Amino acid sequence: MNGSPDKAMVLAAGLGTRMRPLTDHMPKPLVRVGGKTLLDWGLDALGDAGVREAVVNVHYFPDMLVEHVASRQTPAITISDERDQLLDSAGGIVKALSFFGGEPFFILNADTFWIDRDGSNLERLASFWDGERMDILLMLADPQIATGHTGKLDFVMKDGGALQRARGADNGFIYAGVAILHPRIFEGASPEPHSLNLYFDRAIAADRLFGLPLDGHWLTVGTPDAIAPAEDVLRQVSKAS
C-alpha cells in the first residue's frame, strides 16, 4: 500500500448496551462471531492490508481488552485509555491524535466487519483516497449486500463519489463503519465527548466527504439476535469457497 495509511484506530470503548446480556460481563468487541471476536475481525483485516500499528481505545471492561490485544504482533497495538471518561467517536480520536503524526489514518468501528470478495477492501479504500480533494473517505455498504442492519440509509452518492446525507432517500448506502480521515479536520478540537457526525457534516458542506462502496458482504452485530444471521452468512461463504 504505497503512500496509503499504515496506522489505524479501532473504536472499542463503547458500552455495548444493545448487546446485553452478553455485555454484562465483557466488552462488546470481545463478543465472538464465527469463532472470532469482533475486535479481531477488524484487526486481522488491518494487518492483512499492511497496517503496521493501531490504537484501540478502551473504557468498558478495559482490562479485558488490554489483555486480549497484548499478544498481537500485526498490527502492533497501542492502548488509548478512556477509563475516566467515555469520549464518543470523535473525542476518542482527538485524544489519540498525536499517534498518527499528522498523516491520514484508518478508523474502524469494533462492531462491524465484512467479507472481501476480490481483494482487500481496505486496500481498495486506500487506493481511492486522495487527500487533495478529500478530508474523509467512507467505506459504504449497499443494503443488498448487508446483514444485520436495521436502520435507515446514511448517504447518497453524487457523481465522482462525493456524499450527501440520505435524508430519507430510498436508494443509497449504509456507512460501513470504516473510513480514512485526514487529521487536519480535528484542528482546534478538544478531547471531549463528541461525535464524528459533526465532521461528516463539515466535510459535506465543503464537498470533501467521499465514499467507496464495499466489494463483498458487510455484517453488523448490534444485538445478540444478530449473531446467528451473521454466522449463517459466514458459513455460506465458507462453503462457496
DSSP string, 211-231: EEE-SEEEEE--SGGGHHHHH
Q: Which regions of the chain are under pLDDT 50?
A: 1-2
The answer to whether the CB of 59 falls within 8 A of the CB of 84 is no
State the fold for domain 7-240: Spore Coat Polysaccharide Biosynthesis Protein SpsA; Chain A (3.90.550)
For residue 53, give the H/E element and its range.
strand 53-58
Contacts of 193 (CB under 8 A, 6+ apart): 85, 86, 87, 88, 91
- Computed on alpha carbons and rounded to an integer, the radius of gyration of the chain in Å comes to 17
Burial class of residue 67 in the structure, from the number of CB atoms within 10 Å of its CB (0-12 exposed, 13-18 middle, 19+ buried): exposed
Is residue 115 helix, strand or coil?
strand
* pLDDT of 2: 38
Contacts of 142 (CB under 8 A, 6+ apart): 173, 174, 213, 214
Burial class of residue 28 in the structure, from the number of CB atoms within 10 Å of its CB (0-12 exposed, 13-18 middle, 19+ buried): buried
The answer to whether the CB of 74 falls within 8 A of the CB of 30 is no
Give the Cα separation of 124 and 144 in Å (integer): 20
Where are the chain's structural domains?
A: 7-240
Give the Cα separation of 202 and 232 in Å (integer): 39
Q: What region, left, alpha or beta, does residue 34 occupy, with left being phi > 0 and alpha being psi -120 to 50 degrees?
A: left
For residue 20, give the H/E element and its range.
none
C-alpha cell at 37: 471476536
The answer to whether the CB of 176 falls within 8 A of the CB of 218 is yes
H-only helix segments in the chain:
38-48, 62-69, 88-95, 121-128, 197-205, 227-240
